[in-house]
Chains A and B, each alone.
Chain A
């Protein structure tokens, strides 16, 4: 057996141990990324091989938690991919406006920057008070940071630029207070956001949504897990509801992809068709 194949086996055993001992299931994550993170983690620990970490993992919960942190990707920023917010504003909000109340699920919200960006967008378009936003992630530490809404002041220039590119109509500085080397998100933006732990790998649907955002999460899953998450979103969306994915994510490999229409190609926002597939077909026959 070649070294690289032995290591592949070691990672399989490591992921099995994490699942069987703690119920965290990374087995259907995109493998190359998981391998890379496991190798990075290995260097930090000082162990010589991936398999040497397994006994530590089984007996030391703190060790496990550090490893989960390594596996959890929290790279994000306020108004990341600004053009997406323009499309939301122009094509999605006008439809959401027709509902008396609006339920939104931001799945995989990490440290929350993009949830607050969405809150700002809703606020500036007069929809915030009608909205309930569920922001979920499986990483408790990231969720805690999201709830606090305290971010590094260093990034504020980039955020302000993004906000302007996203078509923000006000002054971005009204949404935060600077404090030492941090910014604190204005409390009024938190009012309608419920942060909760939810794992797309193992948890289920918890309500009917008008808009689901899940950006740059599916790329970390293999096809099987991508399909599971997409089915979960499908179960959670009202007919006519919207699904907003990351710029390089798609419904290409999903068997139910035909139930959705792309509303704008570059931004990867899809609308669930109003009529079930079967009804459409009977119409065509007439």
Chain B
């Protein structure tokens, strides 16, 4: 898939307050042969046990796991950041965890995941920001766009907590504002379309073709 410049290689989702419900909606009916990995950073209480992966695995056919340090990222799997660790993506498509300082008062931080994912996947990344009562992820969305990825925010009008998607939208780098069921539909469609279909879709969103940043 590497050489197909405009076919996505990964989905990164950042979500905070109201997250479980939102993710349940976004992941419902995803086909078992979903073609690319999904990486999730959800703000959690630091001492909370990591139930999120377990809860999510009940609502989707895709394997959901708590991300492990140095793990190879596989297509079609869903990875969730463990509580109290930042999740970073390496360029060789493995996971790194870090116990660095909190970023935006958060660990895991969505910005940290988005930024590293943008460096790892560039144009191949789809970044999605969902409900939340802070502005973590806004900077990360900007970086994803800068490297030619596709950026989606949950519609603040229908989001449980609008501040996080709104902050991302305010950066002026969000390609598409969608409701949760539209995001769900988008993901289901992803598993059905080929490279050309995806290019048409991106062009449809941008009005112009996404340009790779070259020098």
| A interface with B by C-beta (< 8 Å) | 1-4, 6-8, 30-33, 35-36, 73, 75, 216, 218-220, 222-223, 226, 246, 248-250, 252-253
In the assembled complex, how far is the CB of residue A163 from the closest CB belonging to chain B, in whole angstroms? 15
Residue of B70, B98, B122 near A33 (CB, 8 A) is B98
Q: Which residue of B lies closest to A165 (CB)?
A: B47
Q: Which residue of A lies closest to B118 (CB)?
A: A4
Cβ–Cβ contact A73 & B82, under 8 A: no
Q: Which residue of A lies closest to B99 (CB)?
A: A216
Residue of B85, B101, B116, B215 near A1 (CB, 8 A) is B215
B88 within 8 A of A: yes
B212 within 8 A of A: yes
Residues from chain B with Cβ under 8 Å of A223 in the complex? 70
- Give me 17 A-to-B residue pairs in the complex whose CB atoms sit less than 8 angstroms apart, sorted by A's number: A2-B147, A3-B147, A4-B119, A7-B119, A30-B88, A30-B90, A32-B91, A32-B96, A32-B116, A33-B100, A75-B101, A219-B69, A219-B99, A246-B99, A248-B69, A248-B82, A252-B68
In the assembled complex, how far is the CB of residue B190 from the closest CB belonging to chain A, in whole angstroms? 23
Contacts known (A31-B91, A219-B99); A36 close to B112, Cβ less than 8 A? yes
Cβ–Cβ contact B98 & A220, under 8 A: yes
Residue of A2, A35, A226 near B213 (CB, 8 A) is A2
Cβ–Cβ contact A2 & B100, under 8 A: no
Residue of A4, A7, A35, A226 near B70 (CB, 8 A) is A226
Contacts known (A2-B215, A31-B90); A249 close to B122, Cβ less than 8 A? no
| Chain B interface bracket (under 10, 10 to 19, 20 to 34, 35 or more) | 20 to 34
Cβ–Cβ contact B115 & A36, under 8 A: yes
| B interface with A by C-beta (< 8 Å) | 68-70, 82, 85, 88-91, 96-101, 112, 115-116, 118-120, 122, 147, 212-215
Which 3 A-B pairs give the minimum distances between C-beta atoms? A32-B88, A30-B96, A32-B116
Cβ–Cβ contact B119 & A32, under 8 A: yes
- 15 more contacts with CB within 8 A, not counting A33-B88, A36-B88, A220-B98, are A1-B215, A2-B212, A2-B215, A3-B147, A3-B213, A3-B215, A30-B90, A30-B96, A32-B91, A32-B119, A32-B120, A36-B115, A219-B69, A219-B96, A253-B70
Bound together, the chains give a CA A222 to CA B91 distance in angstroms of: 12
Bound together, the chains give a CA A250 to CA B67 distance in angstroms of: 13
Bound together, the chains give a CA A32 to CA B96 distance in angstroms of: 8
Residues from chain A with Cβ under 8 Å of B116 in the complex? 32, 35-36
Residue of B97, B101, B120, B122 near A248 (CB, 8 A) is B97
Residues from chain B with Cβ under 8 Å of A32 in the complex? 88-91, 96, 116, 119-120
Residues from chain B with Cβ under 8 Å of A253 in the complex? 70
Residues from chain A with Cβ under 8 Å of B100 in the complex? 33, 73, 75
Of A6, A73, A248, A249, chain B has the most CB atoms within 10 Å of the CB of A248
Residues from chain A with Cβ under 8 Å of B69 in the complex? 218-219, 248-250
Q: Which residue of A lies closest to B117 (CB)?
A: A32
In the assembled complex, how far is the CB of residue B113 from the closest CB belonging to chain A, in whole angstroms? 10
Bound together, the chains give a CA A75 to CA B98 distance in angstroms of: 10
Contacts known (A30-B90, A250-B68); A2 close to B99, Cβ less than 8 A? no
Bound together, the chains give a CA A66 to CA B98 distance in angstroms of: 21
Bound together, the chains give a CA A8 to CA B68 distance in angstroms of: 24
